[in-house]
């Protein structure tokens, strides 16, 4: 029981009488009578409010997407013979937030109400939404009754699966190009698939002039890309991938892009696998195809998290060579900032060739790029400290550019993007590789 404002105001009356007793002793008995009366009424009100009058039932999705708000519905039922003003709050799991809580509702006598809030998880894994905390006034309004309704709703926080659902909806409506830029197929046609209306960005040589003349509008030929190829997704789970940008770690950004690529590749008939590594191999899912290929990737990686350990490319690439024999597109998500790690990555990537085709995905740091802006663009002359910082940033970017040139010179493909351009850039590069028959 929590004292209400009404009870606090009533308590002021005997307090004022107690102050008057200092001047007039005859006020003592009225003060004691007021104390006793208020205590008796408050005790009676507390006894009337002892029985719980509100029950709560929760409807929550079992699968949540990291960084995305998901709706949770609470169904409140009242057994009281009077209307109740109810406030309710839920116990959230760690690394989750809900801006809508606490919720308030007016429950009619023996009535019900539905409330909704949105929970946004910021960490992947298996969790549970906990108990409900409900508050409502006592019959006389002297107390606020607070009850704890036991509840547990297991949830699994996956990577950004809602983006996959959005892509699938667009695909069904044949509007994939609204999410990803169409890749030009330079010499990449392999097998005719169908005729469709011309879209902006299509090559002019793909226009079917007979179909255009017959239908009196531009018609393009669409070709089917080669399928049944293998893609292996390697996720670095070392210390550098713990860096955060946009409230998500680099590892989470990579995992979201991995999920989207797995969905697109499986939808195109390819086989997709996953391996996460740090100082050793954390998980391994061999390449597989079919409609549930992307689901297997989600199940394998939804509870993986980066650790503060040094990444061992040697162990990861040795395990890959032993377990994957077929020629495969190996997509490596990693971050490199020193010469030792860069040299090891370069040596291990060279070892994949020519059996496999490596694609190194490196994360560009927008903050470091911003440090390279001239001082006049930021306003004012640069101080000595700013010049030193700018020099360090230039050295870091020069080191990164040398690594990219070395990787490309030895036959590897490189994707150097920021986190905001990661997913569309990765999908476009995959489509380009398919169209150019590089695999």
pLDDT digits (tens, 9 = 90+) for 53-67: 999 999 999 988 888
* Nearest residue to 93 (alpha-carbon basis) of 127, 65, 66: 127
* Nearest residue to 297 (alpha-carbon basis) of 253, 266, 331: 266
238, 244, 245, 248 alpha-carbon torsion, rounded to 10°: 90
User: Which of 177-181, 227-231, 269-273, 290-294 has the weakest average pLDDT?
Assistant: 177-181
- Higher pLDDT residue, 259 or 17? 259
Instruction: Give the pair of three-digit tokens for residue 248.
Output: 């998500």
Work out the percent of the chain whose per-residue pLDDT is above 70: 84
pLDDT digits (tens, 9 = 90+) for 310-338: 999 999 999 999 999 889 999 999 988 87
Please give the mean pLDDT across all residues of the chain: 82
Helices in 241-383 by DSSP H: which ranges?
Answer: 250-267, 293-301, 313-323, 339-352, 366-371, 375-378
- Strands of the 357-363 sheet, one edge to the other: 281-288, 271-277, 230-236, 328-334, 357-363, 413-417
Residue 297: count of CB within 10 angstroms of its CB: 25
DSSP structure class, residue 207: B
- Contact by Cβ (8 Å): 439, 330: no
Confidence of residue 212 (pLDDT cuts 50, 70, 90): confident
Which residues are CB-contacts of 263 (< 8 A; sequence separation ≥ 6)?
A: 164, 167, 168, 294
pLDDT digits (tens, 9 = 90+) for 72-96: 999 999 998 889 999 999 999 988 8
Q: What is the pTM of this model?
A: 0.66
Confidence of residue 168 (pLDDT cuts 50, 70, 90): low
Q: Is the peptide bond before 32 cis (omega within 30 degrees of 0)?
A: no
Residue 418: count of CB within 10 angstroms of its CB: 15
């Amino acid at each position: 029981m929590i004292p209400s404002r009404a009870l606090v105001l009533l308590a002021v009356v005997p307090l004022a009488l107690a102050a008057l007793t200092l001047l007039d002793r005859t006020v003592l008995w009225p003060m004691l009578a007021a104390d006793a009366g208020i205590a008796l009424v408050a005790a009676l009100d507390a006894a009337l409010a002892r029985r719980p009058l509100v029950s709560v039932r929760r409807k929550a999705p079992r699968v949540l997407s990291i960084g995305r708000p998901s709706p949770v519905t609470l169904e409140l039922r009242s057994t009281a013979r009077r209307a109740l003003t109810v406030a309710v709050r839920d116990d959230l799991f760690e690394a989750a937030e809900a801006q809508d809580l606490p919720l308030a509702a007016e429950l009619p006598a023996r009535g019900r109400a539905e409330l909704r809030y949105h929970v946004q998880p910021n960490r992947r894994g298996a969790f549970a939404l906990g108990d409900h905390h409900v508050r409502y006034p006592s019959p006389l309004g002297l107390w606020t009754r607070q009850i704890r309704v036991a509840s547990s709703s297991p949830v699994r926080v996956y990577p950004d699966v809602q983006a996959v659902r959005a892509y699938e909806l667009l695909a069904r409506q044949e509007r994939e190009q609204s999410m990803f830029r169409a890749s030009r197929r330079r010499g990449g046609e392999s097998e005719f698939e169908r005729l469709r209306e011309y879209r902006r960005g299509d090559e002019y040589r793909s226009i079917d002039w007979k179909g255009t003349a017959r239908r009196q509008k531009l018609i393009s030929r669409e070709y089917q890309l080669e399928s049944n190829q293998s893609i292996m997704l390697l996720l670095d789970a070392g210390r550098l991938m713990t860096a955060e940008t946009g409230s998500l770690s680099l590892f989470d950004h990579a995992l979201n892009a991995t999920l989207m690529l797995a969905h697109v590749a499986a939808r195109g008939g390819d086989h997709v696998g996953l391996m996460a590594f740090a100082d050793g191999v954390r998980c391994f899912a061999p390449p597989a195809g079919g409609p549930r290929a992307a689901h297997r990737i989600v199940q394998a990686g939804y509870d993986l998290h980066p650790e503060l350990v040094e990444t061992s490319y040697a162990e990861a690439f040795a395990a890959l060579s032993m377990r994957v024999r077929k020629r495969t597109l190996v997509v490596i998500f990693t971050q490199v900032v020193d010469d030792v790690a860069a040299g090891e990555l370069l040596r291990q990537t060279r070892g994949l060739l020519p059996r496999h085709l490596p694609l190194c995905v490196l994360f560009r740091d927008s903050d470091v790029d911003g440090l390279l802006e001239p001082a006049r663009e930021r306003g004012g002359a640069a101080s000595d400290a700013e010049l030193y910082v700018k020099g360090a940033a230039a050295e870091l970017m020069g080191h990164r550019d040398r690594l990219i040139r070395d990787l490309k010179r030895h036959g590897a493909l490189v994707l150097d993007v920021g986190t905001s351009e990661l997913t569309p850039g990765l999908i476009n590069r995959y489509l380009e590789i398919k169209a150019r028959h590089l695999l």
